[in-house]
């Protein structure tokens, strides 16, 4: 057996470094969460005698590629701003781990591959919604981040698309059930994004990002808006149960999670501290997957 030499080690390190750079470029963890939401929508929407595994895997793979391409395009457009922020300065483009031309080609091929998979193995409606999501995220939401908090509203649209895409991939149509799933994820994003913007306010200001409402201030007015949008999740979380999409158990879980999520906003209203905003941010990370898993288990 040939002994491992220095060149072998260097080559392995190079490959590992490149894979790590692409992992960060496509925002792998975010893309995986988005893909989970799409799979969630598909499973809820599929009511046939036999589960459509082909369409399901096409949605998962195509949706992941589209999301990854959107994240990569976002990093390309914001490469100069990422250098200014502590939270993003170690991304592959600011560190020159990947050339800009290489990033362009990778993003283009990844995006086209995702669109093609959706077109060939799901349906035109799902493909169109996927393309719309990419356009809004890359060409509208990304530049608006330096304009004002309207970016959060625009960004919440592609952010809420995954369960809608999942539903249309399974059913081929948009019904009131799909709009309910879209609405829950749409409203959830406001406290989620604003909590992140509150915690990362100093970094965002370095890049000129303006995502907080009420004039961009970390004050009681902003905290109240976070509370109001979180409050909306309570009735929205019960709609799948009300319309018979899921059972009562998931409605109870959604209500409990909504109350706990809402309780965190009262602390922010009281002290307007970064610590309270951080709790809301982590609470938002927990709320959505827990509620979606509860809906899935209640249907199964």
Q: How far is it, in rounded angstroms, from Cα 167 to Cα 63?
A: 13
Burial call 262-287: b when 16+ CB within 10 Å, e when fewer: bebbebbeeebeeebbbbbbebbeeb
21 with 98: CB under 8 angstroms? yes
Residue 156 neighbours by CB under 8 Å, 6+ apart: 186, 189, 190, 193
Q: Sign of the CA dihedral 165, 171, 172, 176?
A: negative
**214: DSSP letter:** G
Query: Could you tell me what percent of the chain has a pLDDT over 90?
Result: 89
CB atoms near residue 139 (< 10 Å)? 12
Q: What pLDDT is stored for residue 16 in this prediction?
A: 81
What is the reported pTM? 0.93
CATH 1.10.357.140 assigned to domain 9-174? The reply is: yes
Q: What pLDDT is stored for residue 1 in this prediction?
A: 44
Report the candidate in 251, 258, 248 with the shortest Cα–Cα distance to residue 284.
258
40 with 292: CB under 8 angstroms? yes
| Burial class of residue 3 in the structure, from the number of CB atoms within 10 Å of its CB (0-12 exposed, 13-18 middle, 19+ buried) | exposed
Name all contacts of 144-151 with Cβ < 8 Å and 24+ positions apart. Answer: 145/209, 145/210, 145/211, 146/81, 146/207, 146/208, 146/209, 146/210, 147/210, 148/210, 149/210, 149/211, 149/212, 149/213, 149/216, 151/210, 151/211
Q: How far is it, in rounded angstroms, from Cα 201 to Cα 194?
A: 10
Q: Pick out the chain residues at pLDDT < 50.
A: 1, 4
Q: What pLDDT is stored for residue 131 in this prediction?
A: 98
Q: How far is it, in rounded angstroms, from Cα 163 to Cα 175?
A: 12
């Amino acid at each position: 057996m040939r002994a491992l030499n220095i060149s072998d080690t260097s080559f392995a390190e190079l490959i590992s470094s490149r894979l790590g750079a692409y992992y960060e470029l496509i925002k792998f963890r975010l893309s995986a969460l988005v893909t989970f939401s799409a799979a969630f929508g598909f499973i809820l929407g599929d009511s046939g005698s036999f589960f459509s595994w082909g369409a399901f895997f096409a949605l998962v793979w195509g949706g992941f590629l589209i999301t990854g391409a959107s994240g990569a395009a976002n990093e390309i457009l914001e490469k100069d701003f990422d250098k200014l922020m502590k939270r993003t300065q170690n991304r592959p483009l600011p560190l020159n781990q990947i050339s800009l031309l290489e990033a362009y080609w990778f993003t283009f091929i990844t995006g086209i591959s995702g669109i093609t998979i959706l077109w060939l193995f799901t349906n035109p409606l799902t493909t169109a919604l996927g393309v719309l999501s990419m356009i809004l995220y890359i060409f509208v939401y990304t530049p608006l981040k330096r304009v004002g908090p309207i970016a959060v509203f625009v960004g919440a649209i592609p952010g809420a698309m995954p369960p809608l895409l999942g539903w249309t991939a399974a059913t081929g149509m948009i019904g009131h059930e799909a709009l309910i799933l879209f609405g829950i994820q749409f409203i959830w994003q406001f406290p989620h994004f604003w909590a992140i913007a509150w915690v990362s306010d100093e970094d965002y200001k370095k890049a000129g990002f303006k995502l907080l409402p009420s004039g961009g201030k970390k004050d009681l007015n902003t905290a109240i808006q976070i509370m109001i949008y979180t409050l909306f999740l309570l009735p929205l979380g019960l709609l799948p149960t009300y319309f018979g999409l899921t059972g009562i158990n998931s409605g109870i879980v959604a209500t409990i999670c909504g109350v706990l999520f809402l309780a965190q906003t009262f602390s922010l209203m009281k002290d307007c501290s970064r610590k309270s905003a951080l709790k809301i941010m982590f609470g938002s990370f927990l709320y959505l997957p827990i509620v979606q898993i509860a809906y899935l288990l209640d249907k199964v």
